[in-house]
Structure 1
Amino acid sequence: MTQAVLDGVRDLLPTFRERADEAERLRVVPEASIKELQDTGFFRLLQPKRFDGFEADPVTFYTAVRDIASACGSTGWVSSVVGVHPWQVALFADEAQQAVWGEDTNTRLSSSYAPTGKATVTDGGYTLSGKWSFSSGCDHCSWVLLGGLVFNEEGNVIDFKTFMVPREKYTIVDVWHMVGLSGTGSNDIVVEDQFIPEAFTLSMGETGQCKGPGQEQNTSDLYKLPFHSIFTGTITTPIIGMAMGAYKEHVEMQQARSRAAYLGEKASKDPFAMVRIARASSEIDAAWALLTNNIREEMAHVERGEKIPLGLRLKVRRDQVIGSERALEAIDTLFEASGGRALAQGTYLQRAWRDAHAGRVHAANDPERALQMYGAHEFGHKVDPGMY
């Protein structure tokens, strides 16, 4: 069944590419594209089977995202970050899962995980307030997942939680005017003194241990993977997809391009052009191979009933941040070698260049922090697994 989803997604790629300019103009992914993705079953890939989901292998999900991003970076980005949320919802208490999917299994959620909100302990739950930025795809969603620090009566921080909030309890503020990923509608979310029941929260400390109350109902090995392995992959995968789309367009452009400075010779006959695409394609392939192989290795541990080694979790993050760098370097190489025509509005290359650089500044792509943690562990220093 999941192969049918991948086939359906691939059938949509020409349409997504044609709508890329429209997405930038609207500053959100067109509603028609979201509906078409929904019809393929894409948003159900990581959703529990008891709510009509597929509980698919994460690599299947990443493959679909990669392909979408190869046609339109903004659509790929939104599909990735919105499409991964069913995985986390499956970890919440059953009461929260039922609230999201009990009446409509097509319900979607956006997110903003940075703990910019403040929650205080109240009877039966928390009072949440705050402002969150960069909630990609929020206009297409009726719930949001928000990060917040929990304070006790003495004003001390006692937890870092994800809060699941329904649409009637938050406001979307339209602020998204960007040069890259401009079609993602990554607007601000504002919550003012809203009560969030305990069942609609999830401790990041618990998630860091690959645990969640929802595992009682959703027993698939899929839901035993580390949060940061799954979620950071959703940030790198679209960038790899953009690089693949940029590579395809660059090759096609060079095959058709003549260079006046070289007496009208085809650009594709330039030996240095050949070297550039060899290097770029290797970087893209390496980024994809490491990302997918690492997730498969984690899944293999889970399927054997083994705890995932911390070293492997850190390796996932190491290769994820470097994977983003590899894809970005490939795009830069291809863009610089494509000539002036690549600058024209409507070309995939110039859009991929802008979108990939925008994606690079996401917190999940901070290379120094992830690489430092990997190095510290290799040298035998203590590393907190909660964030990795």
Structure 2
Amino acid sequence: MKAQLSDEKLYNELMESAKRVGMIAEQESVEADDNATVSKNVADAIVEGGLNRLIMPKEYGFPQIDFNTFADIVRTVGYHNLSAAWLTYFYALHNSWVAFLPKHRMDEIYDDGGLLADIFAPMGKVEKVEGGFILNGRWNFVSGVNYSEWISVGATYYAEGTEVPDRIGLCMRVSDLEVIENWDSLGLRGSGSNTVAAKDLFVPDDMVISFNEMMMNRKPYKPQIDEDYLYYNVSFFPAFYVGFPAMAIGAAERAIEEFIARTKKRQRFDGTNEGESPKSQRVAAEMTLKLKSAKGLMKEYIEMLESDQGQYDPAEYNGIRVHIIKNCLDIANRAVATLGASALAKGQPLEMILRDLMAISTHVTSLYEDGIDNYGKSLFGVQSMAMG
């Protein structure tokens, strides 16, 4: 039975820490856009609030939170700044794959206290050698690598005598890799999602995780982990992706608030106040209902995670998640398109929210057409490619 966070004081402290991270990032949002990374101030605030260490087994001294609390933390940061929410989510989340390493490696990484990055696209080339692998490759979109101490990168491995490949994650210090600062995107610019490269790097066997085993076992399978650990006996990838729709909801909440506040101040050429216009009132109502729909689906998604014993098709999670994110993107797009050109001023909240939600919607796990296609197949009993 997983822990359910019932400590109201602790919950409020976590939300205050999340709010602080978001507000610092919002104050520095234009600078982060220019620099293609949040500042160290944001990374330090995540660490000072302990938000990066929440997804750890309890023996390492941190409370066992639930999925609602995790989603609320990410949503709270996302209300203020989506790049900061992206990193807050990832820096906490990436501790989950550390729990799949042997105990001595968990101790090494967790006790070090450094931030973690990952990129699980199987772009690496590996050669099996005695005691480990020789790794070569180049991986793009490594969010938060600028401030990370540890990283896991993806590769495909064909074990001898097997026809089905295993997707593996190879873990190492960031200093073992070359970091190429080339992040220059439309949205989520503050995520600092640069490229890393490995050349003839030896990675020992005890720093390698198997995604096939993670999906099959549904729990950390090497060390003994308490059953109230958040990622114990869950559908790993749907649980891994829980933060994407959560942060989108936070941004959509802010977009509606910005729309209503700006509309109340908007004067038409004929002198009428747009806040009194049935047109804008209807737009606000429709956006709010779309947000309520997104929140309802988010609630269902978490309820599925908490009750999942393998009965849910990963494609269902995929379909729900992409629909939430599309709802939130639609809200931001509608707000900007209704307000007009003034909403496009560079660096103001609605303009940044729209760009950042567009970037979230292009993440491989958030692609709407792929997610709906996967879910549609599952409804007809057709196997899809969805991992969650």
TM-score (norm 2): 0.91
Q: In the alignment, which residue of structure 1 is the partner of 2:7?
A: none
1:101 aligns with 2:110: yes
Q: Which of 219, 227, 238 is residue 236 of structure 2 equivalent to?
A: 227
> Taking structure 1 as reference, are residues 172 and 11 closer, same or farther at Cα in structure 2, changes over 3 Å only?
closer
How far apart are the structure 1 equivalents of 2:22 and 2:83? 13
How far apart are the structure 1 equivalents of 2:17 and 2:293? 26
Q: In the alignment, which residue of structure 1 is the partner of 2:47?
A: 38
1:339 aligns with 2:334: no
Q: In the alignment, which residue of structure 1 is the partner of 2:281?
A: 274
1:59 aligns with 2:79: no
How far apart are the structure 1 equivalents of 2:227 and 2:201? 32
What is the one-letter code of the residue matched to 2:267? S
1:164 aligns with 2:165: no
Q: In the alignment, which residue of structure 1 is the partner of 2:184?
A: 177
Structure 2: runs of 5 or more not aligned: 1-9
Contact kept, 8 Å, 1:202 with 1:212, in 2: the verdict is no
- Residue-by-residue CA offset, 1:129-150 (whole Å, 9 max, x unaligned): 1000000110110111211111
- Residue-by-residue CA offset, 1:318-367 (whole Å, 9 max, x unaligned): 10011111111111101111222212123101111111112211101123
**Shift, 1:195, TM fit:** 1.5
> Taking structure 1 as reference, are residues 29 and 92 closer, same or farther at Cα in structure 2, changes over 3 Å only?
same
What is the one-letter code of the residue matched to 1:318? G
- Residue-by-residue CA offset, 1:57-93 (whole Å, 9 max, x unaligned): 1221111111111111211122222221112222222
**Shift, 1:155, TM fit:** 11
> Taking structure 1 as reference, are residues 155 and 185 closer, same or farther at Cα in structure 2, changes over 3 Å only?
farther
Q: Which of 89, 113, 120 is residue 80 of structure 1 equivalent to?
A: 89
**Shift, 1:278, TM fit:** 1.2
Q: In the alignment, which residue of structure 1 is the partner of 2:6?
A: none
Q: List structure 1 segments (4+ residues) > 6 angstroms apart after TM superposition.
A: 153-157
Q: Which of 254, 264, 285 is residue 271 of structure 2 equivalent to?
A: 264
How far apart are the structure 1 equivalents of 2:340 and 2:222? 53
**Alignment map for 1:1-388 (pairs within 5 Å):** 1-102=10-111, 104=112, 106-152=113-159, 158-209=165-216, 210-214=218-222, 216-223=224-231, 224-260=233-269, 263-301=270-308, 307-311=309-313, 313-382=314-383, 387-388=387-388
Contact kept, 8 Å, 1:74 with 1:184, in 2: the verdict is yes
Moved more, 277-286 or 130-139: 277-286
Identity of aligned residues (%): 23
**Shift, 1:12, TM fit:** 4.6
Q: Secondary structure of 1:178's match?
A: coil
How far apart are the structure 2 equivalents of 1:12 and 1:78? 10
Moved more, 230-239 or 23-32: 230-239
How far apart are the structure 2 equivalents of 1:155 and 1:271? 65
**Shift, 1:167, TM fit:** 2.0
Aligned residues: CA RMSD: 2.1
How far apart are the structure 2 equivalents of 1:11 and 1:234? 18
How far apart are the structure 1 equivalents of 2:197 and 2:76? 33
How far apart are the structure 2 equivalents of 1:242 and 1:25? 21
Contact kept, 8 Å, 1:121 with 1:153, in 2: the verdict is no
What is the one-letter code of the residue matched to 1:273? S
Q: Secondary structure of 1:183's match?
A: helix
Q: Secondary structure of 2:189's match?
A: coil
How far apart are the structure 2 equivalents of 1:100 and 1:343? 43
How far apart are the structure 2 equivalents of 1:236 and 1:193? 37
Contact kept, 8 Å, 1:120 with 1:152, in 2: the verdict is no
**Shift, 1:371, TM fit:** 2.7
Q: Secondary structure of 2:263's match?
A: helix
Contact kept, 8 Å, 1:138 with 1:185, in 2: the verdict is yes
Q: In the alignment, which residue of structure 2 is the partner of 1:304?
A: none
Moved more, 64-73 or 148-157: 148-157
Contact kept, 8 Å, 1:150 with 1:157, in 2: the verdict is no
**Shift, 1:175, TM fit:** 0.4
Moved more, 174-183 or 9-18: 9-18
- Residue-by-residue CA offset, 1:107-127 (whole Å, 9 max, x unaligned): 211111110111121112211
How far apart are the structure 2 equivalents of 1:334 and 1:22? 24
Q: Secondary structure of 2:65's match?
A: coil
How far apart are the structure 2 equivalents of 1:298 and 1:71? 27
How far apart are the structure 1 equivalents of 2:265 and 2:223? 54
**Shift, 1:382, TM fit:** 4.5
Q: Secondary structure of 2:188's match?
A: coil
Q: In the alignment, which residue of structure 1 is the partner of 2:4?
A: none
> Taking structure 1 as reference, are residues 214 and 2 closer, same or farther at Cα in structure 2, changes over 3 Å only?
farther
